[in-house]
Amino acid sequence: MGNVAEESIPDKAALISIAALVDPHSSRDHAMRVAIHTFGTRGDIQPYLALAKALQTSGHTVQLAGPQQFERFVLDHAVPFAPLPGDLLSLLDAPKSKNAIASGAAALAGFKLLGEIRPHIRKMLEAEWLAAHAFAPDLIVYHPKSLASPHMAERLHCTSVLASPLPILTPTSAFPSPMLPFRSLGPLNRASHILTAKLAAGLFSKQIGEWRKNWLGLSVRPNRTPFPDQTLYGYSRHLVPVPEDWGPDVHVTGTWNLESSKDVIGIDLDEFLSAGPPPVYVGFGSMPGIDPSKLTDVIVKALRRNGMRGLLATGGGAIETPPPCDELFIVKELPHDIIFSRVHAVVHHGGAGTTAAALRAGIPCTICPFFGDQMFWGHRVASLGVGPAPLARAELDVETLARALKAMNGPLMRAKAEEIGCRMRAEGGAREAVRLLETFTRQPAKPEHRT
């Protein structure tokens, strides 16, 4: 596609299915039009869906853009959805990508896959622009993985709002980048955030430059680094205190929780939960397994050593189904907001959403990280005394896990978990995020951004 004029509309026919979702002239005068763009697995979709529903409840018009694999999930919640190409998510879900994640070499595998990823990035950029242009938003609220969003906001002259469930892309001296597996880098903490952001931006800078020119009619390089006008972090300040060196444009709201129906707990599971002491939930979300048989054997033996019952979620394949017994119940997945209120403790991979759900329920958790920000949450849980130190998967054995399970019985740890749970449940993160978004449209964009 060639350069576009300032008011041209690209490929109108391709926009019909998206534009039909929401009438651009249907919102009330005082209401906002908010485009929410996200990408990733269910954990990257669910909090933004919760935010979209909170915005709708407050009378605003919303369009959520995300991988087409989640179209039914979003539409079941009556939120207008702009499906984006699912090829990239499918590539990341392929066996070689899963094996790399399971082996702890996710970052290295990502670099090896760049040649395959780049064509999918181009399709994603184009599809996101078509969705945003058709919707004509007042604000674009975006996940850090939505590389296109700040550039689209520049083209559409609307407010850009980075929204993330973890403290990423805002430099601070308080802690290192959550993408690095260190508790602290001391004087290098702030530099680690800046370096991580620049490395991520540089991976696809050439593609983004060409897309800016050919699809947005903008210069190949922006006049300034495309920082957001505002930043919302959807996690609890009781889990990660707000750094003193963040500016007034950075806001920590509390978690954005999507309420699930209690009907998802079937009769068999309800009977299991009622038949004895609350079980320990063990699940690793969408994480794949390099040796699920061995890991499952470790889990079952560690539970038995402590005389505990277990609720095992097989999820992405890190756990397999063990032989049946009265002390175990096996599921593929369950909504955390419902099930965590009925379990004794949680062992999980350390995703931001799972960590928040466990602590909101007021129960301890043990984190066994796979990659990315999961070690960051493991360190936070341990530092608050609401769970043991994170467990290294490569060294996980029955004795190590049994000690962690026993530690979560400790009265002090359980009291601390209940205390932080009470504080987190009182935050109302999605409502606070909506309140802040309503103020952003009444503020001029910042003339300058500094790191």
With a CB cutoff of 8 Å and minimum separation 6, the contacts of 343 are 278, 279, 280, 281, 311, 361, 363
The pLDDT tens digits of the residues spanning 197-225 come to: 888 888 888 899 999 999 999 998 876 66
Q: Which of 93-107, 120-134, 316-330 has the lowest mean pLDDT?
A: 93-107
Mean pLDDT in the chain?
87
Q: Which of 39-53, 111-125, 189-203, 378-392 has the lowest mean pLDDT?
A: 111-125
Neighbours of 183 (CB within 10 A): 15
371-395 mean pLDDT: 95
- The answer to whether 71 and 276 are in contact (CB under 8 A) is no
Tell me the pTM: 0.87
The pLDDT tens digits of the residues spanning 255-284 come to: 999 988 667 788 999 999 999 999 999 999
**Alpha carbons 28 and 407: distance in angstroms, whole number:** 54
The pLDDT tens digits of the residues spanning 139-158 come to: 999 999 998 999 999 999 99
Of 56, 168, 106, nearest to 349 by C-alpha is 106
Q: Going from the N-terminus, what domains does the chain have, and what CATH number goes with each? A: 12-255+428-440 (3.40.50.2000), 262-425 (3.40.50.2000)
* Residue given tokens 């467990």 in the structure block: 391
Decide: residue 320, CB within 10 A, 0-12 exposed, 13-18 middle, 19+ buried: middle
226 has a pLDDT exceeding 80: no
pLDDT recorded at residue 14: 40
